[in-house]
Amino acid sequence: MQMLAHGYLSQYSLAEIFNLIQEGKKNGVLSIEPRDGSIDASKVAQDSTLEIPCYYVSFQGGRVMSIFYGLEYENQDLLAMVLERQWIPLEQIKELKKKLSGLTIPWGLQLKVWEIISVDRLRLLFDIQVLSQLAKIFEISEGKFRFDPHAELNYPEMTGLSLSARNAVLLGLRGLKDWSRLTNKLPAPESRLQRASSELQGSSLENDEQLVWQLALGEMSVLEIAAQLNLEIDKVRQIGFRLCSIGLTHEVAVKPSPPIEIVKPVCVGGGNPNIQISTAFVSKLIGFLKQQKG
Amino acid sequence: MEIMNLVVTGTLGAGKSTFILSASEMQVAAPDKHNTGDEAFFPQDTTASIDFETLQFDEEMAIHIYGTPSQVRFDFMWEILIERAHAYVLLIAAHRPSEFHYARRILNFMNQHAQIPMIIGITHNDCEGAWRPEDIALALGYHNSTKQPPIVAVNTQDRASVAMALITLMEQCL
Ligand SMILES: Nc1nc2c(ncn2[C@@H]2O[C@H](COP(=O)(O)OP(=O)(O)OP(=O)(O)O)[C@@H](O)[C@H]2O)c(=O)[nH]1
Ligand SMILES: [Mg+2]
């Protein structure tokens, strides 16, 4: 990672950077400064006076802890988000801030331990902070990045929830609309895909991704897989790229990466989708709604 | 706290945001101020495309209502939303038949990702050129009325009308 501590997104894709961070189980902050259009890389390096909002992605043990977007890192904390939603009155926030300052664990976690904020609410904050930002980060086509393994972790902004860098890549790349910049990094039509492991390790692949993965036995070319599945070649190349990016498959002739653990991503939604809504809930709600009809 | 995740999806300008707002405005006067539903929302600038409101109708019960991003492309945000949902509403603007095809694609996408209670709400019924709900059903491919989900007319600007639609949806959950 040291040699990759900074560079341009034209040289390294975010997927590659995230992967390195995951593989090295790195701690630190990755800053990404987007640049629209094709600006000469050397000029970008010189011109540091321009103020451009950056993304700051905090990692702990190779997992995404929080993402901050703004001009200057460090001025966002969870308590501000909590206050904005009026979950806790201002006086109490001030008090909490004093009690929390200096702690070296995610503030969200501490607030949960103190039973001041529920997991549902933490999850919502994490969704806002991380999941909704990921799609945007993987849209960035030009820019520079910098990984600072010595950056102080910003505990005040962390919920304590996290997402493996690998899953972040999967989610981010699925949301990608413009693949043109990555074209030369996609697996070639003639190349073969080989699974890195015989198991999906609990990763939640989309239908097409799963089908491609099943055929990735090192025997069929990307072209043949596309024909067999009746999918567009570009689509299969993109899926192949996603699978390779998260280490589930690799292009044959490339040194295989070790099998990896995939963690189910944290998702939007305060309620638990696995728990059925009770009849009591539904009847009570119907009663309430009937009153609204006046 | 029992929480139901409700997704409101639909065609462009169908009234998703208005529906969600109207629903959230049904708030009960809760005894505990910081337990009311209007506290949690996605500030427009952070998520740009996602509406989120809560409706707490009981001390221990609330609905979290999410709007799907207003873009034609289905991405992982859609998946995340639908896979977390307990139920959903599909809103279709009756006066924009050119969007019915997109509504059908939404239906397919939803069906692929979750089998959950749902209703179709037809909006803009008061607008010029509005199709009748039964014609829209046909346009959506429902040729057999026994197999179609409930299709209700709804004025998203009217709280009572939104309540009616939600009652129909809740009846699907029983
Ligand atoms: N006449 C009429 N107007 C409506 C109705 N529902 C919504 N509107 C109006 O239609 C416009 C669009 O409503 P929104 O709630 O923003 O629709 P949306 O689905 O969130 O739109 P997008 O997010 O842009 O896709 C607003 O001006 C609403 O006031 C309805 O039932 N009848
Ligand atoms: Mg809207």
Q: What is the pLDDT of residue B74?
A: 64
Confidence of residue B116 (pLDDT cuts 50, 70, 90): very high
Q: How far is B129 from chain A (nearest CA, A)?
A: 28
Q: Closest chain A residue to B68 measured between Cα atoms? A: A268
Q: Is the pLDDT of residue B29 over 80?
A: no
How is residue B1 annotated by DSSP? -
Confidence of residue B43 (pLDDT cuts 50, 70, 90): very low
Residue pair B88/B56 in contact (Cβ under 8 Å)? The answer is: no
> What architecture is domain A186-252?
Orthogonal Bundle (1.10)
Q: Read off the pLDDT of each residue in A93-103 and give the average, rounded to a whole number.
A: 92
Q: Is A140 on the interface with B (CB under 8 A)?
A: no
Q: Which candidate, A182, A174, A237, A159, places its Cα nearest to that of A204?
A: A174
- Which residues crowd ion ligand 2, with CB under 5 Å? B 16-17
Question: Which one of B40, B86, B164 has the shortest CB-CB distance to A271?
Answer: B86
Reduce the DSSP state of residue B165 to 3 states and report it. Answer: helix
Torsion of CA B77, A73, A162, A3, to 10 degrees: 100
Sign, Cα dihedral of A183, A25, A58, B44: positive
Q: What is the pLDDT of residue A215?
A: 93
Q: Is the pLDDT of residue A21 over 60?
A: yes
Distance, CA A173 to ligand 1 centroid (Å)? Answer: 31
Burial of B94 per CB tally in 10 Å (0-12, 13-18, 19+): buried
Choose, out of A119, A122, A171, A282, the residue to mutate when testing the contact with B (most B CBs < 10 Å).
A282
Q: Is the pLDDT of residue B33 over 50?
A: no
Q: Is the pLDDT of residue A259 over 50?
A: no
Instruction: Delimit the CATH 1.10.10 region(s) of chain A.
Output: 186-252
Q: Is A285 on the interface with B (CB under 8 A)?
A: yes
Mean pLDDT of the residues in chain A: 81
Reduce the DSSP state of residue B62 to 3 states and report it. Answer: strand
Residue pair B5/A277 in contact (Cβ under 8 Å)? The answer is: no
Cβ atoms within 10 Å, residue A8: 17
Q: What is the pLDDT of residue B54?
A: 85
Q: Is A70 on the interface with B (CB under 8 A)?
A: no
Q: What is the pLDDT of residue B39?
A: 30
Are B3 and A272 a contacting pair at CB < 8 A? yes
A149's CB contacts (< 8 A; 6+ apart) are: A1, A5, A26, A27, A28
Q: Read off the pLDDT of each residue in B6-10 and give the average, rounded to a whole number.
A: 94
Q: Which residue has the higher pLDDT, B113 or A202?
A: B113
Q: How far is B39 from chain A (nearest CA, A)?
A: 4
Of A109-123, A174-188, B18-32, B137-151, the least confident? B18-32
Nearest atom within ligand 1 for CA of residue B14: 19
Q: What digits encode the pLDDT tens for the residues A50-74?
A: 577 899 999 998 899 999 988 876 6
Of A254-263, B92-101, B104-113, B156-165, the least confident? A254-263
- Of A34-48, A97-111, A260-274, the range with the highest mean pLDDT is A97-111
- Name the CATH topology of B2-173: Rossmann fold (3.40.50)
CA distances from A134 to A29, A66, A173, B85, B87 (A): 15, 10, 9, 21, 26
Question: Which one of B40, B77, B160 has the shortest CB-CB distance to A124?
Answer: B40
Q: Is the CB of B69 under 6 A from ligand 1?
A: no
- The complex's ipTM? 0.87
Distance, CA B100 to ligand 1 centroid (Å)? Answer: 16
Q: Read off the pLDDT of each residue in A107-116 and give the average, rounded to a whole number.
A: 92
Q: Is the CB of B64 under 6 A from ligand 1?
A: no
One-character DSSP codes across B68-105: PPSSSS--HHHHHHHHH-SEEEEEEETT-GGGHHHHHH
Burial of B14 per CB tally in 10 Å (0-12, 13-18, 19+): buried
Q: What is the pLDDT of residue A211?
A: 93
* Distance, CA of A294 to CA of B10 (rounded, Å): 27
Nearest-CA residue for atom 4 of ligand 1: B124
Q: How far is A93 from chain B (nearest CA, A)?
A: 13
Residues in chain A, overall count = 294
Residue pair A69/A87 in contact (Cβ under 8 Å)? The answer is: no
- Of A85-94, A261-270, B45-54, the range with the highest mean pLDDT is A85-94
CA distances from B57 to A71, A218, B34, B125 (A): 40, 56, 14, 29
Residue ranges per structural domain of chain B: 2-173
Q: Is the pLDDT of residue B115 over 70?
A: yes
Confidence of residue A179 (pLDDT cuts 50, 70, 90): confident
Q: What is the pLDDT of residue A268?
A: 44
Residue pair B55/B24 in contact (Cβ under 8 Å)? The answer is: yes
Q: Read off the pLDDT of each residue in A87-111 and give the average, rounded to a whole number.
A: 92
Confidence of residue A274 (pLDDT cuts 50, 70, 90): confident
Q: What is the pLDDT of residue A38?
A: 40
Q: Closest chain B residue to A286 measured between Cα atoms? A: B167
Q: Closest chain A residue to B73 measured between Cα atoms? A: A177
Q: Which residue has the higher pLDDT, A161 or A17?
A: A161
Distance, CA B55 to ligand 1 centroid (Å)? Answer: 20
How is residue B156 annotated by DSSP? T
3-state secondary structure string, chain A?
A: CHHHCEEECCCCCHHHHHHHHHHCCCCEEEEEEECCCCCCHHHHHHCCCCCCCEEEEEEECCEEEEEEEECCCCCCCHHHHHHHCCCCCHHHHHHHHHHHCCCCCCHHHHHHHCCCCCHHHHHHHHHHHHHHHHHHHCCCCCEEEEEECCCCCCHHHCCCCCEEHHHHHHHHHHCCCCCHHHHHHCCCCCCEEEECCCCCCCCCCCHHHHHHHHHCEEEEEHHHHHHHHCCCHHHHHHHHHHHHHCCCEEECCCCCCCCCCCCCCCCCCCCCCCCCCCHHHHHHHHHHHHHHCC
Distance, CA B120 to ligand 1 centroid (Å)? Answer: 15
Q: Read off the pLDDT of each residue in A107-129 and give the average, rounded to a whole number.
A: 90
